[in-house]
């Protein structure tokens, strides 16, 4: 795997460009936006040589590595093989001939958690995390034929799609009204309305909020793109954090007795409701919640081996 030139400054510039202006207050979480050529400086961050070397040297299994076409996932046996290893062990590895055959017939190759495998994508992920104050992870998609890997679908997280090679067509449909609580297993039926129909070329970036139906198809192959996923911060996150703050509160720790006078449990519930109402009504509640979230150490740890001095900080 060739190590690209130092792109740290270019990565920060790209992230700053994508999130500048009215993006955070008006676009983020709300509407899709295309940034033509915004990532042109970092298209060399990951290429076909990188993908080849990862597939050749890593033992990847489903669901981290998947092949799909028209919404149907190909079984591992169609592109993997068990090879004999030393001491009688068997290793499951990619079968090159089977993999090439599957890709030539229109299957899309998808790889999850690429920022945990590739140093450059890890650095880019950290640049997004610093700017958005949120966890961030990259998936990768490679396709050769004008077929869709997953059909029209929606995601329960916001997405930055960065085109690296080839061209990808994105048909964006309406937003799923139930995206705030529905699960992927309850995908539903896509709306008939086409909100946008666009083609991403190398260096182009698409931001897509969660809940928007989309149907990406290779326009000019071979196509290679990465998608950065940003998990949503919801009321459930706030509620869990708040309950953790009240872990030792007297009202919250009162015992719910199942037997005896029914007024006992009712009184406990009344005190719990009152305590929760008081907590949610505190003016600085959201400020404190986000302060804790912002103070979290996003990004990847660095071990600094061979130094194992336990008194030295790890940076």
CA 138, CA 221: separation in Å to the nearest integer?
21
3-state helix, strand, coil in the chain (%, to 5): 35, 25, 40
Give the list of residues 6+ apart from residue 238 with CB closer than 8 angstroms, or none.
286, 289
Residues of the chain with pLDDT under 50: 1-4
Is-contact 230 131, C-beta < 8 A?
no
CA 223, CA 174: separation in Å to the nearest integer?
25
Per-residue pLDDT at 186:
65
Is-contact 49 1, C-beta < 8 A?
yes
User: End-to-end alpha-carbon separation of the chain, Å?
Assistant: 25
Identify the H or E element spanning 178.
Answer: none
Per-residue pLDDT at 67:
97
CA 276, CA 190: separation in Å to the nearest integer?
39
How far is Cα of residue 18 from the mean position of the Cα atoms in its chain?
17
Query: Left if phi > 0, otherwise alpha if psi is -120 to 50, otherwise beta: which for 29?
Result: left
Which residues are bridge partners to 138 per DSSP?
228
Per-residue pLDDT at 181:
53
For residue 140, count other CB atoms closer than 10 A to its CB: 24
pLDDT in tens, 282-315: 888 888 998 888 776 666 677 778 888 777 655 5
Strands 90-94 and 194-200: unpaired
For 18-79, the three-class secondary structure string (H helix, E strand, C coil) is HCCCCHHHHHCCCCCEEECCCCHHHHHHCCHHHHHHHHHHCCCCCCCEEEEECCEECCHHHC
Per-residue pLDDT at 2:
47
Is-contact 173 213, C-beta < 8 A?
yes
Is-contact 41 10, C-beta < 8 A?
yes
Structure pTM? 0.87
User: Which ranges constitute the DSSP H helices of the chain?
Assistant: 8-18, 48-57, 96-104, 119-132, 235-245, 263-281, 285-294
Per-residue pLDDT at 51:
97
């Amino acid at each position: 795997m060739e190590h690209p030139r130092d792109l740290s400054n270019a990565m920060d510039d790209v992230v700053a460009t994508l999130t500048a202006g009215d993006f955070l207050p008006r676009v983020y979480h709300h509407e899709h936006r295309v940034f033509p050529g915004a990532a042109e400086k970092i298209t060399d961050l990951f290429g076909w040589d990188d993908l080849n070397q990862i597939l050749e040297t890593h033992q990847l299994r489903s669901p981290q590595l998947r092949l799909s076409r028209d919404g149907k996932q190909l079984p591992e046996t169609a592109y993997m093989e068990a090879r004999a290893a030393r001491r009688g062990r068997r290793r499951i590895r990619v079968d090159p001939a089977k993999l090439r055959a599957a890709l030539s017939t229109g299957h899309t190759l998808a790889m999850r958690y690429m920022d945990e495998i590739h140093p450059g994508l890890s650095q880019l992920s950290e640049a997004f995390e610093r700017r958005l104050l949120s966890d961030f992870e990259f998936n990768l998609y490679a396709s050769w034929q004008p077929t869709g890997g997953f059909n029209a679908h929606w995601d329960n997280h916001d997405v930055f799609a960065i085109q690296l090679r080839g061209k990808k067509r994105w048909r964006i449909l309406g937003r799923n009204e139930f995206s705030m609580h529905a699960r992927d297993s309850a995908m539903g039926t896509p709306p008939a309305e086409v909100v946008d129909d666009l083609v991403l070329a190398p260096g182009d970036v698409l931001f897509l909020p969660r809940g928007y139906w989309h149907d990406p198809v290779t326009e000019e192959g071979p196509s290679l793109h990465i998608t950065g996923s940003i998990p949503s911060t919801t009321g459930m996150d706030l509620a869990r954090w708040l309950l953790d703050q009240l872990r030792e509160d007297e009202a919250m720790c009162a015992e719910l007795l199942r037997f005896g006078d029914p007024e006992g449990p009712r009184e406990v519930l009344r005190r719990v409701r009152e305590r929760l109402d008081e907590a949610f009504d505190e003016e600085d509640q959201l400020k404190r919640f986000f302060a804790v979230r912002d103070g979290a150490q996003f990004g990847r740890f660095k071990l600094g081996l061979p130094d194992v001095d336990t008194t030295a900080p790890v940076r």
